[in-house]
């Protein structure tokens, strides 16, 4: 079992999808129940990863699987090569964890073509898990593109009014970026072959890390990979597809988009773009860090002015991912760990925010802030949960958001990105402004709109959806070491690997501060 754990986990949803095709299309309950069971089993399959202590002791790849897949004489070899390390571990867990929640959120909100919706969700899960565990660029690319198709249909069929525009925009933005990456992948492969690498390695990245690609080639390759991932993150100014896609997507789609798909971009940087082209990285760091900071400030300012709650959350995503990127580009342990944990945090808190928006949208069929006010009187449980998630999104100490943002900013400050960190810190204040202001307008005050008089508080199903998320808000907020312990060896190895390439690295972490942050 353990030998094939990753494969079973990745393809179990796909198997479930094939079974779904045989369920009658009008049996709504069975379709949803079956999908829930499939995603729960997938989560159960992935659980041993989270409890495996091997991640805490060694930073390398675990659960490796390697098979020859396509072999064409002396031309090409593509391998089915997968594995997971401390970097991808928590993203894999986040994916399997968030999927049952996303399925539960569809209970009341998806009523047409349920069969298609569920089939696409499961296909999407296979795509996401596959992309996180791939250690072969060709395989990664296939899973990467595989995610595109289900999301396109999820937005286009079950989305809001402007769904067609949003779906096509999402598809074309992402595909254009990845097509350029494809050419770069081919180039890396041929460079590897020409510099004497055995074709048996195929497109395996672990060997590609050792390549000595000349700087001018790395420059272009980093540009191609970085462009593709920057669209996915999304970084300013390539972010314009995100508010559209988020706003139009159905709740489950928004949750997955925010929680997992955006992480593909940041994960892509840390797994592919940066270690494959380390010499070109210093050239791009000022640009990328600047764009991250602009993203933080710009995302926050635009979020502040939104009238639609969902759009507000969408723009806050742009800001949050700016912190992640800044932390990663700091290239020290605090920064990287902060960026990594912030990826998980953003998945939890922004996913939760989209669920919350979904709850009130199901009740009122509007998302305009001006339509609400005083909801706290009628929905006390909802108000409490919403407040906790709001704090987590702002980054209040004690919640998960604080740990991630603080470490990311600290890392950037320690590294050569001091002034970037200083400017980015104002983003935390802005976050408090737009989140609290929104919360105040929606939840506090008197009920002015008679339509809000008879709103029901959360049902037990809705509370059950939110509870696991709340657990992690506090778990990561109070005792993040559970997560850092399994992440750090991989990150240390990553830093060592980058240093060994004589990258102009700035001062590595100072232990006492790290201890302070980690609540040891």
* Interface positions with another protein (CB under 8 A): 69-73, 75-76, 113, 141-142, 145-146, 148-149, 152-153, 156-157, 163-164, 167-168, 171-172, 175-176, 179-180, 182-183, 186-187, 189-190
Contact 372, 441 (CB under 8 A): yes
The full length of the chain comes to 520
Please identify, using beta-carbon distances, which residue of 124 and 259 lies nearer to another protein. 124
The least CB distance from residue 175 to another protein, in Å, is 6
Please identify, using beta-carbon distances, which residue of 41 and 157 lies nearer to another protein. 157
Please identify, using beta-carbon distances, which residue of 127 and 327 lies nearer to another protein. 127
The least CB distance from residue 14 to another protein, in Å, is 11
Phi, psi of 21 (to 5 degrees): -60, -20
The least CB distance from residue 187 to another protein, in Å, is 6
Please identify, using beta-carbon distances, which residue of 133 and 270 lies nearer to another protein. 133
The least CB distance from residue 312 to another protein, in Å, is 26
Calpha distance 190→167 (Å, rounded): 35
Please identify, using beta-carbon distances, which residue of 179 and 467 lies nearer to another protein. 179
Q: What's the burial of 508, exposed, middle or buried (CB within 10 Å: 0-12/13-18/19+)?
A: middle
Calpha distance 307→311 (Å, rounded): 8
The shares of helix, strand and coil residues in the chain, as percent rounded to the nearest 5, are: 75, 5, 20
Helical residues (DSSP H) of 21-65, grouped into ranges: 28-51, 54-57
> For residue 202, what are its two tokens?
């195929």
**Cα 104–110–114 angle (5° rounding)?**
95
> For residue 179, what are its two tokens?
């097509």
Please identify, using beta-carbon distances, which residue of 15 and 508 lies nearer to another protein. 15
**Cα 140–142–148 angle (5° rounding)?**
110
**Residues in a beta bridge with 70:** 78
> For residue 68, what are its two tokens?
């020859």
Please identify, using beta-carbon distances, which residue of 14 and 301 lies nearer to another protein. 14
Please identify, using beta-carbon distances, which residue of 63 and 189 lies nearer to another protein. 189
Nearest to 110 by CA among 250, 245, 249: 250
The least CB distance from residue 275 to another protein, in Å, is 22
CA atoms within 13 A on the CB side of 296: 29
Please identify, using beta-carbon distances, which residue of 159 and 411 lies nearer to another protein. 159
> For residue 155, what are its two tokens?
């937005």
Calpha distance 132→359 (Å, rounded): 30
Contact 310, 357 (CB under 8 A): yes
The least CB distance from residue 430 to another protein, in Å, is 35
96-133 burial, b for 16+ CB within 10 Å, e for fewer?
A: bbbbbbbbbbbbeebeeebbbbbbbbbbbbbbbbbbbb
Calpha distance 234→242 (Å, rounded): 7
> For residue 219, what are its two tokens?
């420059």
Helical residues (DSSP H) of 365-459, grouped into ranges: 375-378, 380-394, 400-414, 418-443
The least CB distance from residue 172 to another protein, in Å, is 6
DSSP H or E segment with residue 81: strand 76-84
Contact 319, 427 (CB under 8 A): yes
Please identify, using beta-carbon distances, which residue of 76 and 474 lies nearer to another protein. 76
Chain centre to alpha carbon of residue 216: 31
57-68 burial, b for 16+ CB within 10 Å, e for fewer?
A: eebebbbbbeee
Contact 155, 182 (CB under 8 A): no
Please identify, using beta-carbon distances, which residue of 145 and 492 lies nearer to another protein. 145
Please identify, using beta-carbon distances, which residue of 177 and 265 lies nearer to another protein. 177
Contact 100, 40 (CB under 8 A): yes
Please identify, using beta-carbon distances, which residue of 66 and 187 lies nearer to another protein. 187
């Amino acid at each position: 079992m353990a030998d094939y754990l990753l494969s079973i986990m990745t393809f179990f949803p796909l198997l479930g999808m094939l079974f779904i095709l045989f369920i009658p299309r009008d049996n709504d309950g069975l379709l949803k129940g079956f999908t829930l069971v499939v995603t729960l089993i997938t989560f159960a399959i992935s659980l041993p990863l989270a409890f495996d202590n091997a991640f805490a002791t060694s930073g390398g790849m675990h659960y490796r699987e390697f098979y020859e897949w396509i072999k064409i004489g002396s031309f090409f070899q593509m391998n089915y090569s997968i594995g997971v390390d401390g970097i991808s571990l928590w993203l894999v867990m986040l994916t399997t964890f968030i999927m049952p929640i996303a399925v539960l959120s569809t209970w009341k909100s998806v009523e047409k073509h349920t069969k298609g919706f569920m089939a696409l969700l499961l296909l999407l899960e296979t795509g996401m898990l596959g992309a996180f565990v791939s250690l072969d660029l060709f395989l990664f690319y296939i899973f990467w593109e595989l995610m595109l198709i289900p999301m396109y249909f999820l937005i286009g069929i079950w989305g809001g009014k402007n769904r067609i525009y949003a779906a096509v925009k999402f598809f074309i933005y992402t595909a254009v970026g990845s097509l350029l990456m494809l050419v770069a992948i081919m180039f890396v492969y041929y460079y590897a072959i020409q510099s004497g690498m055995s074709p048996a390695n195929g497109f395996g990245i672990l060997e590609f890390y050792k390549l000595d690609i000349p700087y001018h080639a790395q420059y272009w390759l980093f540009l191609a990979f970085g462009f593709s991932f920057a669209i996915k993150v999304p970084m300013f100014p390539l972010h314009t597809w995100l508010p559209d896609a988020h706003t139009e997507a159905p709740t489950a789609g928004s949750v997955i988009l925010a929680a997992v798909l955006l992480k593909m971009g940041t994960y892509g940087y840390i797994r592919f773009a940066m270690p494959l082209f380390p010499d070109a990285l210093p050239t791009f760091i000022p640009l990328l860090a600047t764009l991250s900071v602009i993203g933080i400030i710009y995302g926050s300012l635009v979020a502040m002015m939104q009238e639609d709650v969902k759009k507000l959350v969408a723009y806050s995503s742009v800001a949050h991912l700016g912190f992640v990127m800044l932390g990663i580009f700091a290239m020290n342990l605090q920064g990287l760990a902060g960026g990594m944990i912030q990826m998980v945090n953003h998945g939890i808190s922004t996913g939760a925010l989209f669920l919350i928006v979904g709850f009130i949208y199901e009740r009122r069929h509007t998302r305009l802030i001006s339509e609400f006010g005083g909801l706290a009187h009628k929905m006390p449980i909802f108000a409490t949960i919403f407040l906790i998630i709001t704090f987590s999104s702002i980054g209040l100490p004690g919640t998960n958001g604080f740990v991630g943002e603080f470490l990311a900013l600290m890392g950037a400050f320690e590294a050569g990105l001091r002034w970037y960190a200083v400017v980015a810190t104002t983003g935390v204040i802005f976050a408090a402004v737009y989140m609290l202001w929104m919360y105040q307008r929606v939840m506090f005050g008197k009920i002015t709109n008679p339509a809000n008089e008879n709103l029901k508080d959360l049902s037990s199903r809705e509370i059950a959806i939110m509870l696991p998320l709340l657990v992690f808000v506090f778990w990561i907020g109070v005792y993040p070491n559970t997560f850092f312990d399994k992440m750090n060896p991989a990150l240390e190895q990553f830093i060592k690997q980058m240093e060994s390439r004589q990258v102009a690295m700035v001062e590595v972490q100072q232990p006492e501060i790290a201890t302070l942050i980690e609540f040891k």
